[in-house]
Structure 1
Amino acid sequence: MTAALGIKGHCAHCDITFELKPWQLNAIAIEEPFDCPYCQRILQLNCPVQLRHFKALDRWALVRPSMVALTCMVLIVALVAEWLGLISVIGQFNISLMVVLLHCLVLRYARHRQRMTLDLHVVSPALPIEQLARIAGARLSQR
């Protein structure tokens, strides 16, 4: 998920929007709750639509390298076609200009699709605080 930059989380309890760290993105991906860095409440993404959009970010990871390869190939083909006399210099310039414009537009759209703000809701812990304190104490005493 390192390709997915610009993903923010919005805590429903403290009403603060913050940039999500990679470990928080991993927790959201495996649907595991995590602590809010500001109010220390346990947060989780509950909206199935946002979860589907979040998991679809993997599809956008290869857009940039594939667009670079496509742009380079079209520029090389246009250069060779002009060199062989199949198209004119103006035609080669127009093809090059169009492919660079298309490259910029596709990357801008991909960047736009990768930026999102996830609404994170407070989740009540499954165990009471007393049990959690005993478990934490037992784990600390094992060290």
Structure 2
Amino acid sequence: MTAAIGIKGHCAHCDITFELKPWQMNAIAIQEPFDCPYCQRILHLSCPRQLRRFKALDHWALVRPGMIVLTCATLIAALVAQWVGFIGLIEQLNLSLAVVLVHFLVLRYVRHRQRMILALQVVSPAQVLPIEQLARIACARLSQH
């Protein structure tokens, strides 16, 4: 999961910041609580602003391949324009350097936007239902249909 590099979680109970594993990020995305790897408390992301920013990572995933295609196409177009004679060698070099500079600046900005530390709150025991209660609820719902 290349879009998820740099996402960390901060446990509010043990005050430790740790790198989130892919299954933990999936749990956050579907708003499912999970255990802290250090204190074994059940954590979840409760801040709606951080949850929106976390879910917006999908939009940044295609920027890198798109920039690679755009940069290559621009470099080839500048080379062909120089070869045909529309622009000179110096202009072609300036255009190529500007495109490569913009490419790296955009990728740096995207990497900056993808790094985040999520403040994970401890779930109170009243919010977590034991397996037996969940099984009873599921059986009751299935018997209604």
Same fold (TM over 0.5): yes
User: 1:50 corresponds to which residue?
Assistant: 50
User: 2:123 corresponds to which residue?
Assistant: 123
User: 1:108 corresponds to which residue?
Assistant: 108
How far apart are the structure 2 equivalents of 1:65 and 1:2? 12
Q: What do the CA deviations read for 1:71-120 (whole angstroms, capped 9, x no partner)?
A: 00000000000001000000000000000000000000000000000000
What runs of 5+ residues in structure 1 fail to find an aligned partner?
Answer: 139-143
Contact 1:11 1:36 in 2 (8 A): yes
Aligned-pair CA distance for 1:69: 0.1
Aligned-pair CA distance for 1:51: 0.2
- SS of the equivalent of 1:125 reads coil
Identity %: 74
User: 2:86 corresponds to which residue?
Assistant: 86
Tell me the TM-score normalised to structure 2 length.
0.87
Contact 1:2 1:22 in 2 (8 A): no
1:1-40 matches, cutoff 5 A: 1-40=1-40
What runs of 5+ residues in structure 2 fail to find an aligned partner?
Answer: 136-145
Q: What do the CA deviations read for 1:43-70 (whole angstroms, capped 9, x no partner)?
A: 0000000000000000000000000000
How far apart are the structure 1 equivalents of 2:2 and 2:87? 42
Q: What do the CA deviations read for 1:3-37 (whole angstroms, capped 9, x no partner)?
A: 22110000000000000000000000000000000
Contact 1:8 1:17 in 2 (8 A): yes
User: 2:62 corresponds to which residue?
Assistant: 62
How far apart are the structure 2 equivalents of 1:55 and 1:124? 24
User: 2:141 corresponds to which residue?
Assistant: none
Aligned-pair CA distance for 1:127: 6.7
Aligned length: 133
How far apart are the structure 1 equivalents of 2:127 and 2:107? 46
